[in-house]
Amino acid sequence: MTSVQGKRVLIVGLARTGLAAAHVLARRGAAVTVTDARPPWELRADMGDLLANKIGMELGLHREETFLKQDFIVVSPGVLPDMPQLQAARAKNIPVVSEIEVASWLLEAPMIGITGSNGKTTTTALLGEILEASTFPTFVGGNIGVPVISAVDEVPRDALVVTELSSFQLEATVNFRPHVAALLNITPNHLDRHPTLEAYIQAKARIFANQTADDFAILNADDPAVMDLAPGIAARKILFSRKGQLPEGLFAENGHIVYRVGNLERVLLTTKEIALRGEFNVENVMAAAASACVVGADFEAIRRGVAAFRGVEHRLEFVQEIHGVQYYNDSKATSVDAAAKALSAFGGGVHLILGGKDKGAPYTPIRKLLDGRVRDVYLIGVAAERIEKQLAGTVPLHDVGDLESAVQEAFERAVPGDVVLLSPACASFDQFQDYEHRGRVFKEIVKRLAALPVQPRHGAQDSNTAVRMVPIASEVPVAQSEPPELRLEPPPPPMIEPPSRPTEAPEAIPVVEPLPAPLEEGPEVVAIPEANESTESHGSDEEPELRISEALPGTPGEPQPPHISTPEPIYLYELSAEEMVYPEADFVMSVDESDEAVITLESIPAAESATDQALPFEVRTPVAAAVATRAEPDPPMQQGADSGNGARRESRGNVKQ
């Protein structure tokens, strides 16, 4: 286990992975700062916990000087590896690593890593259930949704940590060494992120980089790109094949999945016991079974686990049957190959919904699967035009724009026995938060359709003349007797009516980072903006630190965060001088003289009157009394007492009326 005590650490990206890494490292004595390009009002829900753990924040921008004074930097999976600040850090020999790398430093339990272009989530979830059926203490995480570093505080030494790993996580590993590493397949993917297919393959191959002969590599013998990597792998290789016998490993033969190793040969299960659709899922089952075998899982538990497994949400998930038409949610098919595999699981009568945010891979591999299998294709999102050009001349293509319209059109055209399949072959970020959000919206629309009493006009070829069964908020009012209006987005938190913004956008807000460890227990100073920068707030109006007295009228239909105008720093949380010396900084909020002030003394609640004697390290200013009486406070003055090390601090509290 590697110690991080006293290390200065920067976490880049404040989503699930970044938050988990920040808290775990802070609990282990690191001086942690988090940086995110998003503005503070988008992250306010997490700020309280960060403050409580004395984690510094730099929000709204990435300053190079912050990157260059760290002992190491942890990047979240969504952060581009070639961003200039990271390149500058590498030039100074500052390690830049992923969360999975740091987790491997701190975990004592053995790890099983699963990667590949497709099937990772299904294989990871299935393996977790097999191991639990074999009574192994098991943690399942990684790209499947739970950051692996979360296991550090939960998993005992004798447990098994099963991790789904993406190329984004693997490309920034250095010493990461899973005891078992599985590579399911390789097809072109994420070419909007990786410069070339070779770079993508090399990122995947990082999973084997530090393995030794004491470890295991699980490889798909049917995938040439996977087998091209085999000669450079030091671990013991266990192969699996759906297409033919193997001298050693797992293979399918006459409807049976056989495990052969050394003098042992055993039928683990039959393919009929696999409840998942599609031949590609047979490969996923074999990869999970092979991984379970090498760590000593019970053979009967493997069979029971596979037979009981019904798949994962958003991966060929059966939603409902409406008027004889089946609806499947395959929102997790964010690549062309994943969509092609899902499509191959159906024989015909498919109404296919494609599109979203393009990832750079060609869509032509889908062409050969359309004829005789797909009736209509409904295109959504920004990739619709590119998909239409590459699939032109196959089956009817309908550029419908959004998911709700696509489901509506498919509902009107489908006849009993057909299938409506959402398998987008694209990322979701053009219209949704992520693929999970997209899948939930699809299921919500389908359930809304099922609640409607009117039968669809089956086989309608002109959607303009067909009866529209899904009321669209902008077109059809919803009567009280009908189901409630469908919301494609989750309801936003309450927010203050925003004022208009200046034409020139101000710079984002830097937030003060923590001081080097060792850190004492105690509160933390949070956000003091620099001169000529603006502070913006968004979210609940219940925030106790800042109260907005009035909101200026803004441009209709363009929500913007309120603009807070004050020339003096506002401390959201005071750091007592006895705990640590605060770094010298003179941060102030910017003032736009053309705007009215949105914070006034009248809007600030009266401060408590302090009648007790000040402690030796306590700082008190005339501001509290001035606010309490709504009078102009005296000019700020330097106060403080010797706290044992002679350190003094200046407290400023003027608020401009």
Q: What is the mean pLDDT of residues 476-491?
A: 39
Which of the two residues, 650 and 126, has the higher pLDDT score?
126
Q: What is the mean pLDDT of residues 32-53?
A: 91
Which of the two residues, 247 and 554, has the higher pLDDT score?
247
- Catalytic position from the list 190, 204, 351, 359: 190
Q: So what's the pLDDT on residue 78?
A: 83
Question: pLDDT digits over 333-373, tens only?
Answer: 999 988 998 999 898 999 999 999 998 889 999 999 999 99
Q: So what's the pLDDT on residue 191?
A: 74
586: CB partners within 8 A, 6+ apart: 531
pLDDT tier at 458 (50, 70, 90 boundaries)?
low
Q: So what's the pLDDT on residue 361?
A: 86
pLDDT tier at 192 (50, 70, 90 boundaries)?
confident
- How many C-beta neighbours within 10 Å does residue 542 have? 7
Q: What is the mean pLDDT of residues 561-588?
A: 36
Lowest mean per-residue pLDDT among 57-71, 473-487, 512-526: 473-487
Q: So what's the pLDDT on residue 615?
A: 52
Which of the two residues, 245 and 617, has the higher pLDDT score?
245
The pLDDT of residue 48 is above 80: yes
Q: So what's the pLDDT on residue 512?
A: 46
Judged on CB neighbours under 10 Å (0-12, 13-18, 19+), 209 is middle
Query: Under CATH, what is the fold of the domain 317-451?
Result: Protein-Tyrosine Phosphatase; Chain A (3.90.190)
Report the DSSP pairing between strands 535-536 and 563-564.
Answer: antiparallel
Is there a catalytic annotation at residue 190? yes
Lowest mean per-residue pLDDT among 207-216, 358-367, 413-422, 460-469: 460-469
The pLDDT of residue 7 is above 70: yes
The pLDDT of residue 558 is above 60: no
Lowest mean per-residue pLDDT among 17-26, 92-101, 543-552, 609-618: 543-552
Q: Residue 64 and residue 31: Cα distance in Å, rounded?
A: 18
Question: What rounded mean pLDDT belongs to the chain?
Answer: 77
- Catalytic position from the list 118, 143, 185, 654: 143
The pLDDT of residue 396 is above 90: yes
Q: Mention the CATH class of domain 104-308.
A: alpha beta
Q: So what's the pLDDT on residue 23?
A: 95
Is there a catalytic annotation at residue 256? no
* Nearest partner of 112 among 45, 173, 162, judged by Cα: 162
Question: pLDDT digits over 435-444, tens only?
Answer: 999 999 999 9
Which of the two residues, 459 and 25, has the higher pLDDT score?
25
279: CB partners within 8 A, 6+ apart: 242, 344, 345
Percent composition of the chain: helix, strand, coil (DSSP 3-state, to 5): 25, 20, 55
Q: What is the mean pLDDT of residues 61-90?
A: 93
Report the DSSP pairing between strands 111-115 and 160-164.
Answer: parallel
The pLDDT of residue 97 is above 50: yes
Which of the two residues, 267 and 567, has the higher pLDDT score?
267
Helices (DSSP H) in 141-241: which residue ranges? 167-170, 197-205, 224-227
- Please compute, for residue 292, the number of CA atoms within 13 A of its CA located in the half-sphere on the CB side: 34
Is there a catalytic annotation at residue 254? no
Q: What is the mean pLDDT of residues 455-476?
A: 45
pLDDT tier at 302 (50, 70, 90 boundaries)?
very high
Kind and range of the H or E run holding 114: strand 111-115
pLDDT tier at 454 (50, 70, 90 boundaries)?
low
Q: So what's the pLDDT on residue 324?
A: 94
What are the residue boundaries of the structural domains of the chain, listed by start?
104-308, 317-451
Lowest mean per-residue pLDDT among 136-140, 425-429, 539-543: 539-543
Judge if pTM exceeds 0.85.
no
- Catalytic position from the list 120, 179, 314, 351: 120
Question: pLDDT digits over 576-604, tens only?
Answer: 222 333 333 333 334 344 433 344 334 44
pLDDT tier at 613 (50, 70, 90 boundaries)?
low
